[in-house]
Structure 1
Amino acid sequence: MELKRRPDVERFLKSPDANIRAALIYGRDLGVVRDRGHALAARIVPNPDDPFDVAILTEADVADDPPRLEGELAAQSLMGGRRLVRLRLSNEKPAVDKAVAEALERHAAGELNPDAFFLIEAGNLERSSALRKTGEKAPACATIPCYEDEPGDVARLVRELLARDQVSLNNDALQLFVQRLPKERGVAKQEIERLALFLGPGSGVTATPADLEPFLGVEPEASLFDAAADAFGGRLADAQAGLRRAAQEGEGGPAAVRAIGMHLGKLRRTLTLAKAGAGLQEAAKASGVFWKQEREFLRQARAWTLEDLDRIQPEVLAADKACKTTGSPDRLIAERLALTVAGRARRLGL
């Protein structure tokens, strides 16, 4: 049973189906994988750290002693409660992948201890992975792929973690902070905790962008969001220079194309709201435009139309798909997309 929609995943993590004996949680962002693993483990057993009810294994344990995994899954709880076998994988090693897949298949079929729960936390698994294939086809296994957090997910995480220390950010400060956070959730959480200490736990403060300046320091010149704005503003040289600087800082072509797509989305929402009767400035704020970028964004919104955006949308989608093709020159694809967007913007008078 594969769970992809966020509501389905959250519902399962809060109240696992009694007929499910195993869960495979995997993805590139191990921070998200670990968070979901912790949440599920806490629902399966009262104390996920109890050695009497919980066995925690790694891929090294499986590689060194393959029969041990099935032995742990067949064992009964020493305290009489439900048993949890938690396996953490960091790399997709063929031998380990196959061994875990075989154990999962037997356990999901009820051949080992049917009252035990098998929780597997793994990194990114390719479609060819035997473990992934087994998890997806086993009715008694919940398979949860973890994708990179969307900006809305990150914003929610920031609000929730800061609220624990009774501090918060206003909307503009939240947007600024989210844009600057690392993509990996584990590292992002450390940054959020550091911000809470900076603001003062228990202070009740609601910080503004000005309040964050000493914490964030000078914004890096290489910004994919700035590069996207430059492209839609008709400044090709600035856009391509920004993309190249971002590449030097480790940002790949897919992220660059995504930034261009997000800027297009903001323009589309702004123009749609304006068409429905909202003021352009009001519509821009509702679309999440940061106050420092508002003047330039409104200049673009007055030049672009919904029809113009519809014409450019297929090229953004095509570039996104091309970037995800194995071996693709993703940086070149992103730069060509910026060239196309900037060319359209120039023809619109920008």
Structure 2
Amino acid sequence: MILSRRPDIERFLSKPDAGVRAALIYGRDLGVVRDRGHQLAAKVVDSPDDPFDVAILTETDVADDPPRLEGELAAQSLMGGRRMVRLRLSSEKPAIDKLAAEALERHAAGELNPDAFFLIEAGNLGRDSALRKTAEKANGAAVIPCYEDEPGDVARLVRETLARDSVSLSADALALFVARMPKERGVARQEIERLALYLGPGSNTVGTPADLEGFLGVEPEASLFDAAADAFGGKLADAQAGIRRAAQEGETGPAAVRAIGMHLGKLRRALTLHKSGAGLQEAAKASGVFWKQEREFLRQARAWTLDELDRIQSEVLAADKACKTAGSPDRLIAERLALTVAGRARRLGL
């Protein structure tokens, strides 16, 4: 059984189906995979850290002693509780992938210890993975693919984690913090815990954007995001100056092109939502626009069209490819792209 919809995943993690003996949780972001693995383990056994009822194996353990995996799955609980075997894979090695697939197939069919639970946490398994194929076909197994967190997922993680320390963020501060969060779940969680300490655990503080200024500081890439916004706003000189300032801060041409592409993506998302019936301001917020940039972004969104963005998209892709060519003058390529975008913006009346 494949669980890809969030409500189905949350239902299963909070109350695993009785007929499921195995679960495969996989995805590029191992932080999300580990989080969901911890959630499920806590529901399957009383003490996920109990070495008598829980066996935690890595791919190295399986590679060094292949029969051990099925041996652990066939073993009975020493303390009378439910047994769990937790296999953690960090890479897709064909031999380990095949061994895990064979063990999962036998266990899901009830050939080993039918009362044990087999939990597998893996990286980004491809479609040709034997383990993934086997898990998706097995009747007694659940498959949970983990995708990159959306802004809404990160916002919920921030709220829930801060709430444990009796602190929180205002709506504007939350939007700012989420926009600056690293994409990897494990690293993001560390930043949230650091913020809780900064706000004061147990203080019931509601952080504001002003409170976050000292915590977040100024990112080197901030100049690039400013330059991208200036380019789409028709501000030629400011866009060029922003890219040069970012270069002095250590940013490269590809990073500048990426920032321009990200701003284009925000405009495209906002205009698509607006076309579907959302208000423009609502669409801007849904696209991750920080409140301080909202007025300028709305000005741009009223001038740019989806057709114009499609035309400029090809310029962004060409610049990205050119920047990554060995020996290319990547900063000059990025500057030329910014000037091209700014010139198009001016023709649109910006």
- Which TM-score band (shorter chain)? 0.7 to 0.9
Tell me the matched-pair count: 337
Contact kept, 8 Å, 2:29 with 2:185, in 1: the verdict is yes
Determine which of 308, 312, 320 is the counterpart of 2:309: 312
Partner of 2:144: 144
Partner of 1:260: 264
Contact kept, 8 Å, 2:270 with 2:286, in 1: the verdict is no
d(CA) in 1 for partners of 2:54, 2:191: 31
Contact kept, 8 Å, 2:267 with 2:301, in 1: the verdict is no
Pair 91,35 (structure 1): closer, same or farther in 2 beyond 3 Å: same
Contact kept, 8 Å, 2:254 with 2:323, in 1: the verdict is no
Secondary structure of 2:104's aligned partner: helix
Contact kept, 8 Å, 1:252 with 1:331, in 2: the verdict is no
Contact kept, 8 Å, 1:267 with 1:301, in 2: the verdict is yes
Normalising by structure 1, we get a TM-score of 0.82
Matched, 1:221 2:221: yes
Deviations 1:183-212 (A, max 9, x none): 111111111111111111111111111111
Partner of 1:114: 114
The CA deviation at 1:106 is: 1.2
The CA deviation at 1:272 is: 6.7
Gaps spanning 5+ residues in structure 1: where?
323-327
Deviations 1:272-304 (A, max 9, x none): 77xx8x6x7687567653232133213213323
Partner of 2:330: none
Partner of 1:132: 132
The CA deviation at 1:16 is: 1.0
d(CA) in 2 for partners of 1:31, 1:117: 22
Partner of 2:52: 52
Pair 50,221 (structure 1): closer, same or farther in 2 beyond 3 Å: closer
The CA deviation at 1:152 is: 1.1
d(CA) in 2 for partners of 1:219, 1:293: 16
Pair 181,111 (structure 1): closer, same or farther in 2 beyond 3 Å: same
Matched, 1:90 2:90: yes
d(CA) in 2 for partners of 1:258, 1:160: 28
The CA deviation at 1:347 is: 2.8
Letter of the 1:204 partner, please give it: N
Pair 339,45 (structure 1): closer, same or farther in 2 beyond 3 Å: farther
1:1-350 paired onto structure 2 within 5 Å: 1-222=1-222, 225-226=225-226, 228-234=228-234, 238=239, 241=243, 248=252, 257=261, 260-269=264-273, 289-304=289-304, 308-309=305-306, 312=309, 329=321, 344-350=344-350
d(CA) in 2 for partners of 1:146, 1:255: 26
Partner of 1:325: none
Contact kept, 8 Å, 1:270 with 1:287, in 2: the verdict is no
d(CA) in 2 for partners of 1:102, 1:236: 61
d(CA) in 2 for partners of 1:253, 1:114: 54
Pair 205,94 (structure 1): closer, same or farther in 2 beyond 3 Å: same
Secondary structure of 1:49's aligned partner: coil
Contact kept, 8 Å, 1:29 with 1:123, in 2: the verdict is yes
Gaps spanning 5+ residues in structure 2: where?
326-332
Pair 96,183 (structure 1): closer, same or farther in 2 beyond 3 Å: same
Contact kept, 8 Å, 2:173 with 2:212, in 1: the verdict is yes
The CA deviation at 1:79 is: 2.2
Q: What is the RMSD of the two structures over their aligned residues, measured on CA atoms?
A: 3.6
Normalising by structure 2, we get a TM-score of 0.82
Contact kept, 8 Å, 1:89 with 1:120, in 2: the verdict is yes
User: Percent identity between the aligned chains?
Assistant: 73
Contact kept, 8 Å, 1:312 with 1:341, in 2: the verdict is no
Contact kept, 8 Å, 2:266 with 2:287, in 1: the verdict is no
